[in-house]
Structure 1
Amino acid sequence: MDEIYAEAEQWHVNTGNETIHAKRVPGRWRTIKWLAASVWLIFFLGPYLRWDGRQAVLFDIPNRQYHLFGVTVLPQDFWMLSLLLLFFAILLAVATALAGRVYCGYFCFQTVWTDVFTLIEEKLEGNPAQRRKLESAPLTGRKLRVKALKHLAWVLIGFVTGFSFVAWFYGAGKLWQDFFVGNANAAVYASVALFTVGTYVLAGWLREQVCFWLCPYARIQGVMLDRTTVVPTYDERRGEPRGRMQKGETEATRTTGDCVDCNQCVAVCPTGVDIRQGQQEGCITCGLCIDACNAVMDKVGRPRGLIRYASLDEIEGKSAPPMIARPRVWVYGAILVLALSGIIYGLSSLSAIELKVLHERAPLFVQLSDGSIQNKYTLKLLNKTSEDLMVSVSVESEVPVTLSGAEEPIAAKHGEVNPGIVFVKMDREHLDAERIPLTFVAAATLPDGTEVEATRESAFFGPKP
C-alpha cells in the first residue's frame, strides 16, 4: 500500500492551470484511433439514410414512434430500450476489464471531438511550441485573425453536431426546410444552441478537464481494472535507470536502461500523463505514448515495446491466465448474450397490430330476455404501422357464439390505441361450464397487400349450468 501511495504522489494531474498542447506523431495506434473515431460519421450521416421513402432511423417523439429501418417501435415495446442500455453498459464493462479505458481513448465523443478541435488548432497555429509562443505573444492583427478563424471553426463544428443530433428526432429533410426559415419549434433551436455551446466549451476549452473532473465513467473504471487488465505500461525493469545516450557509447559500455528520457511519451499525451510513473487517473488508454516511444526506439536502435499494452502481471514477469479463462469475462459475456437475445426476440416478434381484451367485471354476464347469456368486452387495438388501418374483429370458440358491435371494420389510427366495445352472446344450452375459453382475432390488410393479424385469449362467463 505504501508503494501505491508513493507512486500516486508522483502523478501529474492538470487542474486547469495550464493548457496541454499535445504533440502529434504518426504511428499504429494513431491510425487505429482515427479509424475508431470514424464510427462517429454515422452520427452525422445517419439521418440522411432513407428506407421505404422515409428516414431510416427516426425517433419521432411527438408522435411517440421510433422507426428503425423497416420496424416501428412504439412506447409499449420500449422495454427493449432497457435491454439495449444494459447491453452497452455491460459491453463497456467488458472492454474496461480487458483493456482499461479503451472506450475513452478511441470511441468517446469527448475524446474524438477534442482531437478534431486540437487538429484544427495545430493546422492554424502550428506545432505545440508555436502555439505556446502565440499564447504568450501580445495581441496583433495576425493573432486576432488566427484565433478568430479557429474559434469560428470550433463553433461551426459545434453547430453541425447539434444540428445532426436534432435531425435524428425531427427528421433531416424537415429540419433543413424549417430551421433556416424560422419554422422550427423553440425546442429545436434550444437543442441546437445547447449542443453548439456545449461542444465548443467541452471540446475547445475544457478538453481533458472533462475526463478528470466531469465524467463519472472515468471514476467508475478505476475499480474495474485488475492486475490482468491490458493497458499502456512502461517496462520499468527494462527502461531504468533513465539516461541520455552518450557519444561513442556501445551496448557493452552502456550504464543506463533503454529509456533515453526524451519525454516524448509525455509530449504526445492528450491529458499530460507521464506513463513512466505508472498507470494513473488521467490515462485514457489511447496508446499514443506507445507510438512516440517506438519511434524513438527506432531512432536510437533499441527494441520497440519499452512502452506497450501489457498487464501488471506481465510486466512483473508473473504468469497470467488468458482473457478467455477469466470468470468475470464469462459473466459479462453471458449477460451480453441474454440482453442481445432479448433485443433480437423483441424486434423479431413485433407485429403490425396488437390486440388487448378487457372483460367487463361488473357484471360478469347478463341474461337476456330470450334466455341467452351475454358478456361485454372492451377491445384495445394498437396500430403500430405508419398508416391508418381498417381492422376486422372476430371471435373463435369451441361452442357457437355470436359477436355484436364489430360488424364493420374498426378504423385504427396509426400509432394510437383505438378502443372499441363488443358483446358476445351464447345460448344457454351451449353453456356447459361457468367459464369457456374464447379467442379474439384482429385482422387487417397493410397498404402493400400484406395480411396481418393479432390474437388474444379471453373467456366467456356464465351461471352454473
Structure 2
Amino acid sequence: MSEPNTHKNGSEQEPEIIEVVDLYKKREKIYTRSFQGFFRNLRISGGAFLFILYFGVAWISTTGRQAVLFDLPARQFHIFGATFYPQDFILLSCLLIICAFGLFFITVLAGRVWCGYTCPQSVFTWVFMWAEHITEGDRNQRMKLDKAGLSSAKFLRKAFKHILWLAIALATGITFVGYFTPIRELVPNLLTLDVHPWALFWIGFFTLATYGNAGWLREQVCIYMCPYARFQSVMYDENTATVWYDPSRGELRGPRKRTADPKSQGLGDCIDCKMCVHVCPTGIDIRDGLQYECIGCAACIDACDSIMDKMGYDKGLIRYSTESEIVEGKPGKIIRPRLVGYFVALAIITVMFLVTVSSRSMIELEILRDRQSLYTETADGLIENVYTLKLVNKDQQTHRYRITSSGLDGLRYEGDKSVEVASGELLNIPVRLVASPEALKGKRNTTVIFTVTAETATMQPVSTESRFLAPAPR
C-alpha cells in the first residue's frame, strides 16, 4: 500500500485533483421559440427574395435558351444572354476574389450578417424550423411531444414534418440540378422516370444534403463545420458592429413586477426571462458576451425588445453595437483603415472584372501549324505552309466571319475566306499560305498575322500571330 505524499517538514500533502475535460460536448437539442420583430421581418423578406431567385431563375428563358445554364458536356456556361467557356476561367477567379473581399468588408463592418440573413444554411434552417413549428407546435409543445411516448398523434405529426422537410429538400435538389440540365426537360423526365443516372444521383445527393443539414445538423454546421466561424475573429476589431448585450444597463438581472421600480430593488433592466436564449438558433446566451457561435441573426434583439415593450422599458438592451461602445464606453467609428483597405481592394477588383467582361471578345481564334512538315516547296518555286484555324463563336447568335492574312508582301491565302459559325460552335478551318522566296528576304521564319472579322455583327476583329517557315537561303 502506497504512503501518502508528505512535505519535507513531514506534513501530509493534499491529494492532487485531476480535472477531466471532455473535448466533445454532447449535443443538446435546441427548441427555438417563435417571435416577432423588425429583424425577423427583414430576414423573412431577404430569405423570400433569395428563394424566389434560386427557384425562379432556373425557369427563365432568354433567346430561346435557359437564362442560367451550366452545360458541362458542351463546356458552355450561359448566364443571362452571355456564354462563357473554359478559356474564361480567369473571370471565375476574379468573381471568387470579389466574393472573398466582399465577405471581408461586410464582416469588418457588421460581423456575421451574411450568416444571419443570407447564408443558405441559415435560410434553409429557418424554413425547416417553420415546417417544424406548423406540424409540432411552438417550443413548449415540441418539448412535450418529444418527452411523450409514441402515439398515433405523435407519429402523424413527426411524419408530416419529415414529409415537408423532404419535399423542400427534393425541390432544392431538382432546382440545383436544373441549372446543369435544362429544367424544362428535367422535370417531365422525372415524372416519366426517363432521367440520366447521374442527374438522378445528384438530385438524391442534394436532397439528402439539404434534409440532413437544415433538418438534423442545423447549428452543428455553423459551430463545427463552417470555417467562417473560426476565422471571423481575425477580421473583427473594436468597431465591428455585432449583437451585444449591454451589461451596464441590464445588470443585476432578476424577475420583478411590471409596476416595480428596478432601481429601488438594485436591479437592471434584464428580467432574466431567458427569451434571448429560447429564440437563439445556436442555443447560446448572448448575455455571456461575444461568442463564435453567434451568427448575428438578431433573433435575440427582437425577443428582448418585445419584453422591454411589455415592461415599459426602453428598447436596445440587446442591440447591434460595438466593443468600443459596450466595453470601453466610446462611440464606434465607421471609417477606419482596415475597412477602407478592403473597400479599395473590392472596388479595384470589381472594376477590373466589369472591364474584362465588357471587353471580352466574342470570337476566339487559335492557330495550329501542320506538324507533318515545316514547309513545302511547290513546283513553281514558291514556299507553302499549312495551318489549321480553330474558330469559336462565343456569341449567342450564328455569325459569318471573314478571314484574312498579312505579314508578307504578296502572301497568298488559300482556303475558306468566309465561314459561318453557329453559336458555341468550334470550327476547324484548313488553310495554306503561299509566298515567294523573294518576299521572305532570306529569313527562315517570318511572323504572319491571321485576322477574323465578323461580317454579320459589330464585333472587334481578332488577330493571332503565327510563324511562316522557309528553307535556309542557298
Give yes or no for TM over 0.5. yes
Counterpart CA distance in 2 for 1:252 and 1:444 is: 81
For each residue in 1:163-197, what CA deviation from the matched residue of structure 2 results, as whole angstroms up to 9, or x when unmatched? 11011110111112212212210111111111111
Residues 218-367 of structure 1: pairs in structure 2 closer than 5 A: 218-246=229-257, 249-250=260-261, 253-319=264-330, 322-324=333-335, 326-359=336-369, 365=375, 367=377
Matched position secondary structure for 2:313: coil
- How far apart are residue 251 of structure 1 and its match? 6.2
Distance 1:66 1:411, change over 3 A: same
Distance 1:424 1:387 in 2: 30
**Pair 187,237 (structure 1): closer, same or farther in 2 beyond 3 Å:** same
Instruction: Tell me: higher relative CO, structure 1 or 2? Use CA pairs within 8 A at least 6 residues apart.
Output: 1
Aligned partner letter, 2:433? V
Distance (whole Å) between structure 2 residues aligned to residue 247 and residue 196 of structure 1: 49
Change (3 A) 1:453 1:180: farther
Q: For residue 5 of structure 2, what is the aligned residue in structure 1?
A: none
Distance in 2 of aligned mates of 1:53 and 1:361:
41
2:8 is aligned to none
How well do the aligned residues superpose, as a CA RMSD in angstroms?
2.7
- The 3-state SS of whatever aligns with 2:180 is helix
Tell me by how many angstroms 1:453 deviates: 4.5
Higher mean C-alpha displacement, 418-427 vs 269-278:
418-427
Task: Return the offset for 1:24.
Answer: 1.8
Structure 1 residues 191, 445: closer, same or farther in 2, change over 3 A? farther
* 2:201 is aligned with 1:190: yes
Residue type at the aligned position of 1:425: V
Q: Which structure 2 residues correspond to residues 75-86 of structure 1 after superposition, within 5 A?
A: 75-86=86-97
Counterpart amino acid of 1:426?
A
Measured in 2, the distance between the counterparts of 1:126 and 1:233 equals 30
| CA-CA distance at 1:413 after TM superposition | 6.2
State the one-letter code of the partner of 1:454: V
Most deviating of 342-351 and 27-36: 342-351
SS at match of 2:385: strand
Distance change >3 Å, CA 89–CA 252, structure 1 → 2: closer
Question: Which is worse superposed, 389-398 or 300-309?
Answer: 389-398
Cα pair distance change 1:247/1:450, threshold 3 Å: closer
Q: Secondary structure at the match of 1:48?
A: coil
Deviation at 1:409, TM superposition (A): 4.2
2:212 aligned to which of 201, 204, 210: 201
Alignment of 1:449-460 (within 5 A): 453-460=461-468
1:119 alignment partner, one of 130, 135, 141: 130
Q: Would the alpha carbon gap of residues 17 and 363 (structure 1) be closer, same or farther in structure 2, given more than 3 Å must change?
A: closer
Check 1:349–1:159 CA distance in 2 against 1; reply closer, same or farther (3 A cut). Answer: same
Query: What is the TM-score normalised by the length of structure 2?
Result: 0.87
Tell me, yes or no, if the aligned pair for 1:72 and 1:385 is still in contact at 8 Å: yes
Tell me what 1:46 maps to.
57
Unaligned runs of 5+ in 1: 1-12
Aligned residues of 1:364 and 1:461 also touching (Cα < 8 A): yes
Give the SS at the match of 2:103.
helix
The correspondence for 1:439, drawn from 431, 445, 449, is: 449
Supply the distance in 2 between the matched residues of 1:441 and 1:355 (Cα, whole angstroms): 9
The aligned residue for residue 399 of structure 1 is 409
Q: In the aligned structure 1, how far is the partner of 2:459 from the partner of 2:108?
A: 49
Is residue 152 of structure 2 the alignment partner of residue 141 of structure 1?
A: yes
Matching of residues 363-382 of structure 1 within 5 Å: 365=375, 367-382=377-392
- CA–CA separation in structure 1 for the residues paired with 2:436 and 2:195: 60
- Asked if structure 1 preserves the Cα contact closer than 8 Å seen for 2:70 and 2:77, the reply is yes
Aligned residue for 1:24, secondary structure, equals coil
CA shift at 1:213, angstroms? 1.6
Q: Judge conservation of contact 1:80–1:342 (CA < 8 Å) in 2.
A: no
State the secondary structure of the residue aligned to 2:33. coil
Deviations 1:85-127 (A, max 9, x none): 1111221121212211111111111111111111121112211
Give the CA deviation at 1:337: 2.2
- Report the counterpart of residue 63 of structure 1 in structure 2: 74
Q: Distance in 2 between matches of 1:272 and 1:194?
A: 29
Q: 1:184 to 1:30 in 2, by over 3 A?
A: same
TM-score (norm 1): 0.88
Q: Which runs of 5+ in 2 are unaligned?
A: 1-22
Q: Does 1:425 align with 2:434?
A: yes
1:214-245 C-alpha deviation (Å, 9 max, x unpaired) = 22222222332222211100111111111222
Q: Distance in 2 between matches of 1:348 and 1:364?
A: 39
Q: How far 1:318 sits from its partner (Å)?
A: 4.6
After TM superposition, give the deviation of residue 17 of structure 1 in Å. Answer: 3.2
Paired residue total: 449
2:10 match:
none
Query: Is 1:94 equivalent to 2:102 in the alignment?
Result: no
User: Is 1:47–1:57's contact at 8 Å kept on the other side of the alignment?
Assistant: yes
Counterpart contact for 2:404–2:417, Cα < 8 Å: no
Distance 1:247 1:390 in 2: 81
SS across alignment from 1:375: strand
The one-letter amino acid of 2:389's match is: L
Overall identity of the aligned pairs, in %? 38
76-85 vs 326-335, which moves further: 326-335
Q: Do the aligned residues in 1 keep the contact of 2:416 with 2:429 (CA within 8 Å)? A: no
Give 1:429's aligned amino acid. Answer: E
